[in-house]
Structure 1
Amino acid sequence: MIKSILIFVLAGLCEIGGGYLIWLWLKENKPWWYALIGAFILILYGVVATLQPANFARTYATYGGFFIVMSILWAMKFDNYVPDKYDIIGAIVALIGVFIICYAPRS
């Protein structure tokens, strides 16, 4: 389970980091190479996600919960975002869903 969580975190960093660079290029007039690097990192995200042992549906559903939490953490770090109680509650609910979807014992 720890290896799987680390892969989800790495995938999240790739997707959020790559998307953030493209966001900066388009929204904040950063140089074109921000978009190029962002696109490359987004491609890496697609590769990293395939390292999960679960099937596509379970992997991407689970990743969605990680993405929610990591997006809030990213915004706190890089955009001085302060989550409110509903952001935090929603993130907790998403993580509970993640652990049910991906890590519940199945027969």
Structure 2
Amino acid sequence: MNTAFVYVGAAVAEIAGCFAFWAWLRLGKTIWWLLPGVLSLVVFAYLLTLVETNAAGRAYAAYGGIYIVASLFWLWGIESVRPDRWDVAGASICLIGAAVILLGPRG
């Protein structure tokens, strides 16, 4: 499976799962929001196991950059808060870091 698709799916699942807890605790939603939230977090964890690498830590480290970018899209699309230039600059730096981790030569 394509690593980029796995990472994007994992990011959406993790953010949605965490947002369910946020909605329950901070937005006053019912406790029933936790059920799809927990299921979403299980999907997130499963998807990260599909990354083509022999080290879990490397998969998680590279995923961090994708998660940050996805979080900013969530901020903009779901929460209607437009990321500022500092958000975009920080996310760009993180994506470069993720690419170095994923694509760096291993020997």
Aligned counterparts of 2:71 and 2:25: Cα–Cα separation in 1: 19
Aligned counterparts of 1:103 and 1:25: Cα–Cα separation in 2: 39
What do residues 42-70 of structure 1 show as CA deviations (whole Å, max 9, x unaligned)?
A: 11111111011112111000011111100
Partner of 2:41: 42
Q: What is the correspondence of 1:1-107 to structure 2 with a 5 Å cutoff?
A: 3-54=2-53, 55-107=55-107
Give 5+ residue unaligned stretches, structure 2. none
Give 5+ residue unaligned stretches, structure 1. none
- The amino acid that maps onto 1:39 is V
Superposition TM-score, scaled by structure 2 size: 0.93
Aligned counterparts of 2:28 and 2:84: Cα–Cα separation in 1: 29
Aligned counterparts of 2:89 and 2:5: Cα–Cα separation in 1: 23
* Equivalent position SS for 1:88: helix
State the shift of 1:39 in Å: 1.0
Superposition TM-score, scaled by structure 1 size: 0.93
State the shift of 1:105 in Å: 2.9
Query: How many residues are paired up?
Result: 106
Aligned counterparts of 2:81 and 2:105: Cα–Cα separation in 1: 36
Aligned counterparts of 1:103 and 1:84: Cα–Cα separation in 2: 28
Note the aligned Cα RMSD (angstroms). 1.2
Aligned counterparts of 2:36 and 2:3: Cα–Cα separation in 1: 26
